[in-house]
Structure 1
């Protein structure tokens, strides 16, 4: 019987490998999300508040993730352990009221008297800026006043942040959480499959000769024309099309609010469009030599992928060197 089962298992494996219609660049099925206990506890808190107040947990998770990413971008993340589950911080003058003489006030009545936003979310009689339930209850109180539909939530986001970029990013995060229904979306992938031949080195800051004086804001990965290009993380396609510098290019924003720039492509994955959700290791395009001219210009340099990373911290996005990240992701991909 054991021999029979073994033969059946081998037969099924061979059948899967030889199954028709499976493309050579197909991505392996996503592994089950890691059970990070902190993220699980955070998710349970969001879901509990959804059950209590009716605000979708993905809204709360998206705001928390945006705030978390902005703190990292501004280098405000402390190495000291925190007792809090969320990263949402509401300024004291907004929490307690701008005219409140006590900017550490936790009395809900006096906070309300001075037109502060802080509320008591856990029923202990105090409205504390460092209490996750109080902070989330304050946000829920704000957003529920606009309504529960997505359009209402976007209006509430605008009135809270007063920034189009913040509203757009948080809405994107919420959409991604809605698809995957968990918080473990930190996976990464090297942008070229390991079975293909490629080469790269650090080219950050090198001078560029076309289009005026500028520096190289990325890493060039040289590979044969038509080599698949993979998404480096979970994210959403923000830009796809032609750029006179980058040629056929794709811009993807990940769950850390980092913009990933894939340029000089020969083509895109069929059907890929702005607003699509992608995940690590998913084919999004193919290596080419497009760019440095009007749409369709190609062949002015050897085929390669220009890969760049940009972070947004409340103003203009700024580029940073992707080379150390590529080295790490390459090692991780080879191990997998």
Structure 2
């Protein structure tokens, strides 16, 4: 946080955008095989040719003047006379300086991000993270909770990958949590509502993306919390809807199966997005929530 604020003071690029970009890059590096794993405080990564300049014969160049000559992005951010891709302050300042060439307001920052990543979804994800950080005014947003109250009457087991037949052959991309109709469904993480509405498979459903670039999918709801809308920032424990049995047909279809919450998790790596088994995470969140409840 301190470094984000420091670079904001120098460049006027809002700290929450710097934090969002940093967290986005860190999250994709953790799941990509073509990128090195993050090993420093700042997760932003410049490929050697980006940092030193595409035609620079020395991909490990640290001389700021030489890098500038070859039109590289590397800069000396901490004033030590070197532009090092291994120096957190140099790296963060380099990205901020790149954005500064477009402007410091929201729209121009988004233009700069698109020209850097060339992907609408990435720009949207980063803007969402920035909104979350700005809303809470901090970056330590790692709390999670179970999606239904832990004292409610519910049951669940690992069913990710099981066969599903309605609507064509497919696999089950989530965990079903069976509970009574209308039992509150809660946001599990700090995040932003990306999607809300009807789907013929999932019925009334909500999609929330957290700060770790994981998309959380809540389906078969009985309805939505009042005033919940796309683009809204949520926090763990916030009620977003109720358990239901909607889906498997046109809008309003309900009752074709027992009431339950379908909970799915998807990871985006900057290129594509895929489903993974949420059961271990659900079990962990429930266990942690119980432990925290005992401490109170």
Superposition TM-score, scaled by structure 2 size: 0.96
Alignment equivalent of 2:185, drawn from 224, 229, 238: 229
Structure 2 residue 39 is matched with structure 1 residue 46: no
2:98 aligns with: 142
Alignment equivalent of 1:155, drawn from 72, 90, 111: 111
Provide Cα deviations, 1:216-251, integer angstroms capped at 9, x if missing partner.
110000000000001010000000000000000000
Aligned equivalents of 1:319, 1:255: Cα separation in 2: 17
2:79 aligns with: 123
Structure 2 residue 219 is matched with structure 1 residue 263: yes
- 1:28-67 paired onto structure 2 within 5 Å: 43-67=1-25
The two structures, once aligned, show a CA RMSD in angstroms of 1.3
Aligned equivalents of 1:73, 1:284: Cα separation in 2: 29
Provide Cα deviations, 1:234-272, integer angstroms capped at 9, x if missing partner.
000000000000000000001110000000000000110
Superposition TM-score, scaled by structure 1 size: 0.84
Give, in angstroms, the shift of residue 77 of structure 1. 7.1
Aligned equivalents of 1:45, 1:324: Cα separation in 2: 34
Aligned equivalents of 1:111, 1:316: Cα separation in 2: 32
Structure 2 residue 284 is matched with structure 1 residue 328: yes
SS in 2 for 1:306: strand
Aligned equivalents of 2:129, 2:172: Cα separation in 1: 29
Contact preservation (8 Å) 2:146, 2:286: yes
2:254 aligns with: 298
Aligned equivalents of 1:68, 1:98: Cα separation in 2: 24
SS in 1 for 2:3: helix
Structure 2 residue 59 is matched with structure 1 residue 103: yes
Q: Which has the larger radius of gyration?
A: 1
Provide Cα deviations, 1:41-63, integer angstroms capped at 9, x if missing partner.
xx011111212222211111010
Give, in angstroms, the shift of residue 74 of structure 1. 2.1
1:72 aligns with: 30
1:277 aligns with: 233
SS in 2 for 1:110: helix
Contact preservation (8 Å) 2:29, 2:37: no
Structure 2 residue 194 is matched with structure 1 residue 238: yes
SS in 1 for 2:30: helix
Q: How many residues align?
A: 291
Aligned equivalents of 1:272, 1:78: Cα separation in 2: 36
1:132 aligns with: 88
SS in 2 for 1:284: strand
Contact preservation (8 Å) 2:30, 2:37: no
